[in-house]
Amino acid sequence: MPDSQRKILLFLAQRRRATKFQLKECLKLSYSTVYDATEKLVSTGWVKVVDEETYKTGLPKRVYDLTQKGVKWVLCLSESWEEKTRIAENWKDLFPENIASWIRFIASINDETVKNIFSMEALDPKTRGFNFTGFLVSHLLLSDKPHEDALLKKIMSHPDPIIKETILEELRRRVATYEEKKKKCERLVATMVS
């Protein structure tokens, strides 16, 4: 990703809403660079026009903001967990769950595999939000016993009861799914043996 696009995404994530002129002035970029970068970001679906007026000269004045897809990318691009939390708080109206709470939770676990959540399947393109619960449960199920125990201890000692309950619900859902699949497999085996 070109540096100009990255700067625009990060700027919009922190400020919300800006015209090309504001982007040019605040980011110290040339107008042609801002024009090309915003057009590319709009075409990728990371930025959208949220307001449009007409100057006295007849030229359009467009106000840009991030899309939900753009916010997800900014959360991936952000290097510090504090910055991720600030951005998530700024955009909490876009997502159904409290992403800032999940980010604080993931940072507190201090597990590199879990922290890679932003560059892995946790950014589920099929949903409106993030799939933190699914990722954590999958990670727990695939971990070796010592790592599973350490991670589970960190999860259980976390003070946020909503996050713990959400993880527990996902585990219960998976148990029910596996029980249904086990019964189906048993029926298939019985049919093939008879």
Q: 108 and 60: one domain? A: no
Region for 123 from its dihedrals, namely left if φ exceeds 0, alpha if ψ lies in -120 to 50, beta otherwise: beta
Residue where a domain stops, chosen among 66, 86, 110:
66
Q: 111 and 159: one domain? A: yes
User: Considering only CA atoms, which of 113, 117, 90 is closest in space to residue 102?
Assistant: 117
Number of domains in the chain: 2
Predicted pLDDT at 124: 56
CATH code, domain with 9: 1.10.10.10
Predicted pLDDT at 186: 92
Helix (H) or strand (E) holding 74: helix 68-77
30 vs 26: CA distance, rounded Å: 11
Q: 179 and 103: one domain? A: yes
Question: Please, which pLDDT band fits residue 47 given cuts at 50, 70 and 90?
Answer: very high
Question: Please, which pLDDT band fits residue 79 given cuts at 50, 70 and 90?
Answer: confident
Domain assignment of residue 78, yes or no: no
Residue 37 has pLDDT above 90, yes or no: yes
**Range of 107's domain?**
96-183
Residue where a domain stops, chosen among 23, 44, 66:
66
Q: 113 and 161: one domain? A: yes
